[in-house]
Amino acid sequence: MKKILITGCFGQIGSELTMRLRRDYGNDQVIATDIRRIEGSPLLEHGPFEILDVMDQRAMHRLAEKYQVDTLIHLAALLSAVAEAKPQLAWQLNMGGLMNALEVARELNLKFFTPSSIGCFGPETPADHTPQDTIQRPTTMYGVTKVAGELLADYYYTKFGVDTRGVRFPGLISHKTLPGGGTTDYAVDIYYEAIKRNRYTSYIAADTYMDMMYMPDAIEAIVRLLEADPARLIHRNAFNITAMSFSPAEIAASIQKYLPDFKMDYQVDPVRQKIAESWPNSLDARCAKDEWDFAPAYDLDTMTQDMLEKLSKKLGSTTA
């Protein structure tokens, strides 16, 4: 990678990945794009930014040519809970935007990355230590677009030789950017509420397990996969990756190690609960470890400690 174009730069992943890549490759080497401009964002201050609607393939092609990029990272998409509320829009954006990005990568011979998700699995998928290659019958529109996206990225590699790469992200937890409508968002919200109110009402049931990952590990995984030797990659796209699996009750217990008075109660949201129950409890990430040396650094307690420290500073609290 020498020059990189990122779509959806203001999202939860894009905002942190853009800054990491600019640190690694240089500010002018990473072009951030999104459908809107967010004034005051550091992404506008530390490198090029362009407005881009990913549904406009010609505009994407023009920007890739203008900046002479060699890598395209496509992040723009609707997430699980929002996609389920707007399924037709989710299909149009998630699949139409992906097809446009892949076409630009094909036309300009670009390295290509796009993320999949644990949302690509369904109720018939083995729930524990979910294999890399297994049944995928999702029951949400978000999941349908993720499975289709995995297959489409594989197709562009085998049919056209596009250097496509991708991972299946678990729920992502970050102290820098608020989540954007995913089922696993409770695992971010809970830390904010722990600092602000010392209590949290979970919309996911206490004993519901889902895979999770701290954002520094997620960003490192993207960089490591993009830099990996292609000769080692057997799967190329949709690698299972994970760092930890926990329930709302367990994340509450982890917070109580640092904030003993923290309280948790539950008002389960049937829509998001149903989505959560259709996803795996834990993923088998051996293929990612074997093919490109994936290795997360954070577990639940080390993540909790770091989240509480960082959010205490961010929110101006001395609670943690």
163 & 194 share domain? no
135 & 275 share domain? no
Is 267 domain-assigned? yes
93 & 185 share domain? no
The pLDDT-based confidence of 181 (bands split at 50, 70, 90) is low
Contact 32, 18 (CB under 8 A): yes
Instruction: From the candidates 67, 142, 203, 214, give the one annotated as an active-site residue.
Output: 142
What are the tens digits of pLDDT across the range 221-233? 999 999 999 999 9
> pLDDT > 90: what percent of the chain?
86
Is 273 domain-assigned? yes
Instruction: Quote the number of domains for the chain.
Output: 2
260 & 112 share domain? no
pLDDT above 70 (res 185): yes
127 & 186 share domain? no
User: Active-site residue 142, yes or no?
Assistant: yes
What pLDDT, on a 0 to 100 scale, did the predictor assign at position 255? 97
102 & 117 share domain? yes
The pLDDT-based confidence of 80 (bands split at 50, 70, 90) is confident
What pLDDT, on a 0 to 100 scale, did the predictor assign at position 262? 97
Is 320 domain-assigned? no
List the CATH number of the domain containing 271.
3.90.25.10
What pLDDT, on a 0 to 100 scale, did the predictor assign at position 180? 67
List the CATH number of the domain containing 65.
3.40.50.720
pLDDT above 90 (res 55): yes
What pLDDT, on a 0 to 100 scale, did the predictor assign at position 16? 95
51 & 133 share domain? yes
Is 229 domain-assigned? yes
What pLDDT, on a 0 to 100 scale, did the predictor assign at position 287? 98
What pLDDT, on a 0 to 100 scale, did the predictor assign at position 109? 98
Q: What is the extent of the structural domain holding 42?
A: 4-170+214-240
Is 290 domain-assigned? no
224 & 266 share domain? no
Give mean pLDDT, residues 103-117: 98
Q: What angle do CA 203, 209, 210 make, to 5 degrees?
A: 90
Is 287 domain-assigned? no
